[in-house]
Amino acid sequence: MRHTLPIAPQFYVTAPQPCPYLDGRMERKLFTALQGEHAQRLNDALSKQGFRRSQNVLYRPSCAECSACLSARIRVADFNPSRTQKRVLKKNEDLTRNATSPWATEDQFQLFRRYLDTRHADGGMADMDIFEFAAMIEETPIRSRVIEYTRPVDSADPGGSDRYGSDRYGSDQGSRLAAVCLTDVFDDGLSMVYSFYDPAMNARSLGSYIILDHVEIAREAGLPYVYLGYWVPGSRKMGYKASFDALEIFKGGQWTDLGSPADHRAELHPLSVDPIAEQVAKISLPEARGS
């Protein structure tokens, strides 16, 4: 007799720690290990329920009195860039996209360090060394890609050298590494796990460009969604995500149109989050194929 049983991972909760998005609040995460032969299917299923991947762990915010963090994704078929986003696409027409396997390089790390030192010097990743960076890129049990963006460099390039030396260029010294995105491939879309870019190219709005290009990659691949991580009402760090058309958020156990960002509040309330046992009971798990 052929039968199927649900994949049954163990779920855990982290200890509370200061929230990186909203001042004065504490964050807590519900998480499970992502490993074994069912890793891809588990990742696909839980990502549709607001979970995110970090190396070999899947997690979702589960704060005691706050439910502000909302998973966000773009509906590719309905997306239309704004005038500002069309200008961003125009500015970056000279960039070349290269999709590679998830393998860390020295060039990527130098760009990553420059990005952190300029934009997130006091963030949680500020002290990451090259070994931790390699783990972030390479420790993935699912289908992942590193998307690199480079542009040609000529002798008149004013950004040709700095304290990081020639590592900011491609291996042939004829191109400059402008941006990188670690991207997971789901059965229904692309998930932008982490992206970073050259802060010297700030005028190009590379963060927005990477998202716009991922919409195009998903469109070309016939994938319906681009997952952007969490949107947090009241957080300036996450506010830019609300500027993208056809944005959905995972709220109240289902995906719904964002609508007006002003309609969402990051209020504290002791009943805003279900107890952990109830949260786990409501998670829909994929079935394990067997015989």
Rg (CA), the chain: 20
pLDDT, one tens digit per residue, over 170-216 is 445 578 999 999 999 999 999 999 999 999 999 999 999 999 999 99
**Residue 4: pLDDT band by 50, 70, 90 thresholds?**
low
The 3 state secondary structure assigned to 62-85 is: CCCCECCCEEEEEEHHHCCCCHHH
**Model pTM score:** 0.89
State the Cα–Cα distance between residues 47 and 190, nearest whole angstrom: 11
Across 52-80, average pLDDT? 94
**Residue 64: pLDDT band by 50, 70, 90 thresholds?**
confident
Q: Are 197 and 179 in contact (CB under 8 A)?
A: yes
Is the Cα dihedral 281, 282, 286, 291 positive or negative? Answer: positive
State the Cα–Cα distance between residues 105 and 205, nearest whole angstrom: 24
pLDDT score recorded for residue 274 = 86
**Domain segments of the chain: what residues?**
4-73+255-289, 77-226
State the Cα–Cα distance between residues 245 and 257, nearest whole angstrom: 10
State the Cα–Cα distance between residues 77 and 171, nearest whole angstrom: 37
Helix axes 130-138, 106-119, angle to 10 degrees: 110
Reading phi first (left if > 0) and then psi (alpha if -120 to 50, else beta), residue 218 is in alpha
Q: Which of 244, 253, 241, 281 is nearest to 67 (CA)?
A: 253
**Is 77-226 assigned to CATH 1.10.3470?**
no
pLDDT score recorded for residue 163 = 34
